[in-house]
């Protein structure tokens, strides 16, 4: 047999062997991919079918400070028993969140821009960023005594906060 033909047969055998190995690798990869999909989807399907009636309580409403809607902020609901907080964004004075039913303490946070400060204090002439300050009184956030009892599937709870009680 000529050397040219031997090289051709050898190359073809090596190529066929490589092709066969590649097919085996792809079959293994396909099996692993299917196992991964099943291992991820099975718990998700199980958890979604076992969803608790308590977790689906939707609470929404308005948040105002001295009669003015809070433009941007956050409202936190802290479960009295588990101490687990759930936060929702306040946009244009409105919020909506899904929480467990039960007794909750409520905290409202909102900041306003009061000036500019350097990003890096070591370089005062460098890039400037907004300086913000909390404008909701502490009696509604860090020292909040606001509470709410959540019981229904869907509730509307407005929080009309007043800086000074008359």
d(C-alpha 166, C-alpha 164), whole Å: 6
Q: Is the pLDDT of residue 88 over 70?
A: yes
Give percent of the chain with pLDDT exceeding 70.
65
Look at residue 148 and tell me if it is in a domain. Answer: yes
**Same domain flag for 87 and 34:** no
pLDDT at 105: 92
Q: What is the CATH number of the domain that holds 109?
A: 2.60.40.1120
Domain that holds residue 30: 1-50
Q: Is the pLDDT of residue 8 over 70?
A: no
Q: Are 104 and 148 in contact (CB under 8 A)?
A: yes
**Same domain flag for 72 and 146:** yes
102-119 residue pLDDT tens: 899 999 999 998 998 888
**Same domain flag for 62 and 111:** yes
For the chain, the domain total comes to 2
> Where would I find the H helices in the chain?
3-49
d(C-alpha 96, C-alpha 74), whole Å: 11
Cα–Cα distances in Å, from 160 out to 7, 64, 80, 93, 95? 87, 5, 22, 10, 13
* 57 contact partners, CB below 8 Å, separation of at least 6: 98, 99, 100, 101, 150, 151, 152, 153, 154, 155
**Same domain flag for 139 and 86:** yes
Look at residue 133 and tell me if it is in a domain. Answer: yes
Look at residue 16 and tell me if it is in a domain. Answer: yes
Look at residue 161 and tell me if it is in a domain. Answer: no
Cα–Cα distances in Å, from 149 out to 30, 40, 61, 68, 95? 51, 36, 14, 25, 17
Helix or strand run (H / E) with residue 61 = strand 57-65
């Amino acid at each position: 047999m000529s050397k040219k033909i031997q090289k051709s047969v050898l190359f073809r055998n090596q190529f066929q062997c490589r092709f066969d190995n590649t097919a085996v690798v792809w079959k293994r990869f396909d099996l692993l991919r299917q196992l991964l999909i099943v291992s991820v989807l099975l718990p998700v399907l199980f958890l979604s079918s076992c969803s608790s009636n308590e977790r689906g309580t939707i609470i929404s409403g308005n948040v105002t400070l001295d009669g003015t809607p809070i433009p941007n902020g956050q409202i936190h609901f802290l479960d009295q028993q588990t101490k687990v907080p759930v936060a929702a964004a306040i946009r244009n004075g409105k919020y909506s969140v899904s929480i467990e039913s039960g007794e909750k303490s409520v905290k409202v946070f909102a900041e306003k821009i009061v000036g500019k400060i350097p990003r890096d204090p070591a370089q005062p002439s460098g890039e400037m960023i907004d300086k913000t300050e909390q404008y909701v009184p502490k009696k509604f956030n860090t020292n909040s005594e606001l509470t709410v009892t959540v019981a229904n599937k869907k509730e509307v709870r407005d929080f009309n906060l007043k800086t000074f009680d008359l």
